[in-house]
Amino acid sequence: MSRVWKWNRPVTVREVLEDLQKERSIAYTTVMTVLDNLHQKGWVRREAEGRAYRYEAVSTRAAYAAALMNDAWSQSDNPAAALVAFFGMMSEEQRHALRDAVRIVQGPETQEPTEPSESARPTERPERTEPGEGAEPGEGAEPAEPAEHAEGPEGAEPREGPPENPASAQDGDGR
């Protein structure tokens, strides 16, 4: 998939083959089989062009990554703890990108000012609760430590098995 996403346009088996052969030796039939498998799984659509096909990604790499994150998060029995753990793993650059994304999703009508006036600042800080204690996530529960200051996944449930890898949905070579 990474080769199909790379061009962001319909590609032929020959184009993908030539690109892959810059790095290693690979057979035309291997590339053709992988692209056919991706078509059968619904990852790419194809259109006939003479005796060959042109393959095009059904979704973007960003949409694929978002779907993976959503799937993993929705399977957590403690979504707030999972988010705290995830944010704790992020670099400062990733946290800035997250803040920008939240601003975009909220839109201009729901964004709060970056520096509230004195009268708008709360005089008392609300009591914080651990996720899962007294309130469900999204109903006033806040993580004990803001995500941007979290050191690691202390509040997260341990995972079983190896970490998920987006490349695992592709063939073993990340195509």
The pLDDT tens digits of the residues spanning 53-84 come to: 999 999 999 999 999 989 988 899 999 999 89
What is the spatial distance between Cα 10 and Cα 116, in angstroms, rounded to a whole number? Answer: 49
What is the spatial distance between Cα 154 and Cα 19, in angstroms, rounded to a whole number? Answer: 43
First to last CA, the chain: 5
Burial of residue 4 (number of CB atoms within 10 Å: 0-12, 13-18, 19+) = buried
19-23, 87-91, 96-100, 113-117 — which is least confidently predicted?
113-117
pTM recorded for the entire structure:
0.51
Q: Which of 131, 47, 45, 116 is nearest to 86 (CA)?
A: 131
What is the spatial distance between Cα 66 and Cα 44, in angstroms, rounded to a whole number? Answer: 18
Give tens-digit pLDDT for 102-146. 999 998 765 555 554 444 444 443 343 444 444 333 333 333 333
